[in-house]
């Protein structure tokens, strides 16, 4: 096991009815900005629960944060935060709303051009407006970590930043808020969580047994309950298990003391930035290709994955690995997320565009060994056509 | 899954050499009390590492905190904290030193008779001296939770308290500090961790899949690496896996959203208080007896445990459950911890004494259904003779 430092300060309130806990978490004299997305929270009762919990607290709203939240949109909220002396942000939504709200929180207290936050990966952030979350989609884990992914629409740049200052003070996770999700978002969320886990697990062995067993448990949960959520969207326990699994997948816990391979996310982000595919769709396309391309290097962990997740113990190493990767692909497809670029109308013209963006962003050494160059990405994307 | 609220603010520094991180965690102008136990840290180099990390910081020492730390001993440290204006406590040791230091931290800021802290389970604690830990034994999980168990020697009362104010600010977990442990302490620690996990797992099913999978992972780690630690006490990865497993076993994470059955701990504590058995020894004795006595009520989870931990899928329910319990007993014995009262020279005279202590402490409704009365404890202890 590698050395690590770990701490996670977010207060979680999990379960039905827990939105009411907001009133204990938001200071009574706060001036709150409620941020949200396309407005589904106004139809499914979530906004009403939030407003009721904030009874007596001053708040204004900022809706319309899109998927892959745009810098341009978020800067409008930053102006409101400054003009209205907002001192608490309550993000109500999925990962895009929460990520966007993290950026708003940091940008509103940032002395220079806020795009610099992204360009410096958050390293220069020294303050942020306090943030709380009401999660409505099991997927990104943003509700219990300090990262965010932001897109500058004008230049098709999808990039991330981290700062302890945007770690949510609290997050409410009520599985009932996810009952009314479209199947596409449920499927994307399961794929996103799945890929988060395996990017911290399918690397090389360091004999970190807690982390491996936890990762394997999360994967098994997604395999079991992901399809159930598509079949029975209002099954509380299924939604609860997916929600807590997604949070655990990216709250830093399974990352402790192990290497990580974020190549799939970094390549996928460029595809979303350039072509607008859903985040989960890009991951479903890229992950199997990364694994096929790197199967020798990842052999130890891929064999462990094949055995402990898929029960594959017969046949030679290569056939077990190939079967495990194919099973993974089949699972993503079962979740309604196609795993080939061609399924989204994209062809090999994608390749040079993604390579160029990665170079432009300085992401030229990806993977747990930092040895995936743009030339390797070319080969990986050929496997994803 | 049941509703829950969860937060854990302890900063963990894990790995070899991490004791040096203390210097970033303890304020430079602090007046520190270093607390420890029998003095092994003076022989194995741990104290030297701590002193080096505290170079330039004012500290004094308080050694001699015994296993099952005594109220009487700890009150001497409380006097020192007050007299010397101590404003930071650094506990260097295992669960007893950390638990004792939590009590010192709370008692030094408590306006009334400190024994009241115990009598009110910590509910009246409103402040404590800030506490940091250097863990030297994988067992209790105290390094990342807000509980402590204290014994009043004069009356043979072993009791607990909880307070957010004694949650460690940070804990250093360096597996190398456990290389020189006696086998008995290693064995006891594995049993203690094991029992922590199953007390939050072998209850009744609530379809909490993250918690179940995490619990099962921790158990499998203990089964795999516990015996290895006895065979090769200086195997770093083995000690690291046991240490992180023990911390995860009782830091609140696997407790989220599930019932718990602390009957084994509560009965075991009375046996230690009365007869001085090691904490782990009492658990190894009581747990199998609780499971046998409650096997119908715990059937669902015992069958899950039998299958996922021991691979038991053949035979009828009762035979699988019986085999799983016997395997558990065998594992404890393999760790050098006998599982019968008779092995410790105790006989049925224990039974009325334990029943009386439980009544005296108001612990008359134990278990996940609060239905284990002293009369049931009588039957349980008969099964443990």
pLDDT (tens digit per residue) in B216-228:
999 999 999 999 9
pLDDT (tens digit per residue) in B269-323:
999 999 999 999 999 999 999 999 999 999 999 999 999 999 999 999 999 999 9
Q: Which of A98, A129, A130, A104 is nearest to A117 (CA)?
A: A104
* Residue B187 pLDDT level (bands cut at 50, 70, 90): very high
Say yes or no for a CB contact (<8 Å) between B4 and A21.
no
CA angle, B380 as apex, B377 and B381 as ends, to 5°?
85
Chains A & B: contacts with CB separation below 8 Å: 134
Mean pLDDT (whole number) for B182-195: 98
A237 in contact with B, Cβ within 8 Å: yes
Among 3.10.310.70, 3.40.50.1970, 3.30.70.270, 3.30.70.1090, name the CATH number for the domain at A11-177. 3.40.50.1970
Q: Which of A251, A265, A277 is nearest to A184 (CA)?
A: A277
Sign of the alpha-carbon dihedral angle for B33, B36, B40, B41: negative
Q: What are phi and psi of A119, to 5 degrees?
A: -65, -25
Say yes or no for a CB contact (<8 Å) between A15 and B4.
yes
3-state secondary structure of A180: coil
pLDDT for residue B192: 98
Q: What are phi and psi of B107, to 5 degrees?
A: -65, -35
SS (H, E, C) chain B: CCCEEEEEEEEEEECCCHHHHHHHHCCCCCEEEEECCCCHHHHCCHHHHHHHHCCCCEEEEECCCCCCCEHHHHHHHHHHHHHCCCCEEEEEECHHHHHHHHHHHHHCCCCCCCHHHHHCCCCCCCCCCCEEEEECCCCCCHHHCCEEEEEEHHHCEEEEEECHHHCCCEEEECHHHHCCCCHHHHHHHHHHHHHHHHHCCCCCCCCCHHHHHHHHHHHHHHHHHHHHHHHCCCCHHHHHHHHHHHHHHCCCCCCCCCCCCCHHHHHHHHHHHHHCCCHHHHHHHHHHHHHHHCCCCCHHHHHHHHHHHHCCCCCCHHHHHHHHHHHHHHHHHHCCCCCCHHHHCCCCCHHHHHHHHHHHCCCCCECCCCCECHHHHHHHHHCCC
Helix (H) or strand (E) holding A75: helix A71-83
The alpha carbon torsion through A187, A189, A194, A196 (nearest 10 deg) reads 150
Which of B5, B210, B221 is opposite residue A209, by nearest beta carbon?
A: B221
pLDDT (tens digit per residue) in B126-179:
999 999 999 999 999 999 999 999 999 999 998 999 999 999 999 999 999 999
pLDDT for residue A205: 98
Interface test with A, best of B209, B236, B255 (most A CBs within 10 A): B209
B216 in contact with A, Cβ within 8 Å: yes
Say yes or no for a CB contact (<8 Å) between A21 and B5.
yes
pLDDT for residue A275: 96
pLDDT for residue B261: 98
Pair B74, B104: CB distance under 8 Å: yes
Strands B157-162 and B4-14: unpaired
Q: Domain segments of chain A: what residues?
A: 11-177, 183-382
pLDDT for residue A169: 98
Neighbours of B269 (CB within 10 A): 27
**Contacts with A, B 243-272, CB within 8 Å:** 244-245, 248, 253, 256-257
pLDDT for residue B191: 98
* Residue B362 pLDDT level (bands cut at 50, 70, 90): very high
Mean pLDDT (whole number) for B5-20: 98
Sign of the alpha-carbon dihedral angle for B365, B371, B373, B376: negative
Please list the residues that pair with A33 across neighbouring strands. A60, A89
Q: What are phi and psi of A99, to 5 degrees?
A: -60, -45
What topology is assigned to A183-382 in CATH? Dehydroquinate synthase-like, alpha domain (1.20.1090)
pLDDT for residue A128: 98
A25 in contact with B, Cβ within 8 Å: no
Say yes or no for a CB contact (<8 Å) between B15 and A8.
no
Q: Which of A135, A168, A142 is nearest to A251 (CA)?
A: A142
Pair A299, A185: CB distance under 8 Å: no
pLDDT for residue B240: 98
How far, in Å, CA of B99 to CA of A195, rounded? Answer: 40
Mean pLDDT (whole number) for B239-267: 98
How far, in Å, CA of B244 to CA of A259, rounded? Answer: 17
Residue with the two structure tokens 């891929």 = A302
pLDDT for residue A7: 98
How far, in Å, CA of B73 to CA of B37, rounded? Answer: 11
How far, in Å, CA of B373 to CA of B347, rounded? Answer: 21
Mean pLDDT estimate for chain B: 97
3-state secondary structure of A312: coil
Neighbours of B354 (CB within 10 A): 23
Minimal Cα–Cα distance from B381 to chain A, Å? 34
Contact residues, chain A, for B217 at CB < 8 Å? 209-210, 212-214, 216-217
3-state secondary structure of A35: strand
Say yes or no for a CB contact (<8 Å) between B1 and A237.
yes
Strands A147-152 and A157-162: antiparallel
A21 in contact with B, Cβ within 8 Å: yes
Interface test with B, best of A2, A6, A232 (most B CBs within 10 A): A6
Q: Which of A306, A301, A319 is nearest to A202 (CA)?
A: A301
Q: pLDDT tens string for chain A (385 positions)? A: 999 999 999 999 999 999 999 999 999 999 999 999 999 999 999 999 999 999 999 999 999 999 999 999 999 999 999 999 999 999 999 999 999 999 999 999 999 999 999 999 999 999 999 999 999 999 999 999 999 999 999 999 989 999 999 999 999 999 999 999 999 999 999 999 999 999 999 999 999 999 999 999 999 999 999 999 999 999 999 999 999 999 999 999 999 999 999 999 999 999 999 999 999 999 999 999 999 999 999 999 999 999 999 999 999 999 999 999 999 999 999 999 999 999 999 999 999 999 999 999 999 999 999 999 999 999 999 999 9
Contact residues, chain A, for B7 at CB < 8 Å? 9-12
Residue with the two structure tokens 């936050």 = A117
Report the residue of chain A nearest B9, measured CA to CA: A9
User: How many C-alpha atoms does A337 have within 13 Å on its Cβ side?
Assistant: 32
B18 in contact with A, Cβ within 8 Å: yes
Minimal Cα–Cα distance from A379 to chain B, Å? 36
pLDDT (tens digit per residue) in B67-106:
999 999 999 999 999 999 999 999 999 999 999 999 999 9
Q: Which of B270, B305, B37, B318 is nearest to B194 (CA)?
A: B305
B47: left (phi over 0), alpha (psi -120 to 50) or beta: alpha
Q: What are phi and psi of B134, to 5 degrees?
A: -120, 110
Minimal Cα–Cα distance from B41 to chain A, Å? 22
pLDDT > 70 in chain B, percent = 100
Strands B170-173 and B131-135: parallel
How far, in Å, CA of B197 to CA of B218, rounded? Answer: 7
How far, in Å, CA of A385 to CA of A347, rounded? Answer: 6
Q: What is the DSSP string of A141-178?
A: -GGGSSEEEEEEGGGTEEEEEE-GGGS-SEEEE-GGGG
pLDDT for residue B188: 98
């Amino acid at each position: 096991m590698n050395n690590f430092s770990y701490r996670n300060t977010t207060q979680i309130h999990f379960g039905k009815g827990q939105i009411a806990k907001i009133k204990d978490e938001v200071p009574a004299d706060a001036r709150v900005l409620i941020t949200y997305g396309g407005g589904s929270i106004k139809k499914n009762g979530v906004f009403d629960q939030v407003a009721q919990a904030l009874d007596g607290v001053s708040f204004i709203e900022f809706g319309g944060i899109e998927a892959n939240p745009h810098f341009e949109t978020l800067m409008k909220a930053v102006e409101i935060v400054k003009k209205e002396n907002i001192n608490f942000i309550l993000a109500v939504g999925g990962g895009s709303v929460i990520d966007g709200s993290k950026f708003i929180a940091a940008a509103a207290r940032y002395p220079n051009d806020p795009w610099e936050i992204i360009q410096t990966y958050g390293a220069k952030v020294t303050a942020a407006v306090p943030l709380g979350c009401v999660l409505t989609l099991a997927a990104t884990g943003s509700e219990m970590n300090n990262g965010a992914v932001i897109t500058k629409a004008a230049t098709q740049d999808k990039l991330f930043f981290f700062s302890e200052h945007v770690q949510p003070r609290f997050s409410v996770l009520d599985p009932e808020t996810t009952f009314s999700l479209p199947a596409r978002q449920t499927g994307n969320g399961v794929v996103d969580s799945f890929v988060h886990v395996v990017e911290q697990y399918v690397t090389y062995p360091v004999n970190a047994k807690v982390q491996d067993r936890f990762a394997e448990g999360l994967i098994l949960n997604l395999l079991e309950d992901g399809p159930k959520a598509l079949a029975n969207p209002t099954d509380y326990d299924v939604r609860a298990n997916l929600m807590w699994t997604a949070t655990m997948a990216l709250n830093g816990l399974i990352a402790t003391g192990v290497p990580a391979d974020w190549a799939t996310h970094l390549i996928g982000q460029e595809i979303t930035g350039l072509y607008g595919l859903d985040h989960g769709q890009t991951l479903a396309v890229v992950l199997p290709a990364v694994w096929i391309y790197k199967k020798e290097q990842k052999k130890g962990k891929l064999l462990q994955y094949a055995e402990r997740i898929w029960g594959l113990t017969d046949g030679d190493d290569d056939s077990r690995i190939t079967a495990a990767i194919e099973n993974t692909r089949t699972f993503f497809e079962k979740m309604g997320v196609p795993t080939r670029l061609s399924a989204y109308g994209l062809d090999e013209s994608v390749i040079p565009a993604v390579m160029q963006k990665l170079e432009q962003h300085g992401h030229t050494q990806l993977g747990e060994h930092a040895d995936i160059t743009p030339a390797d990405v070319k080969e990986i994307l050929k496997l994803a056509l």
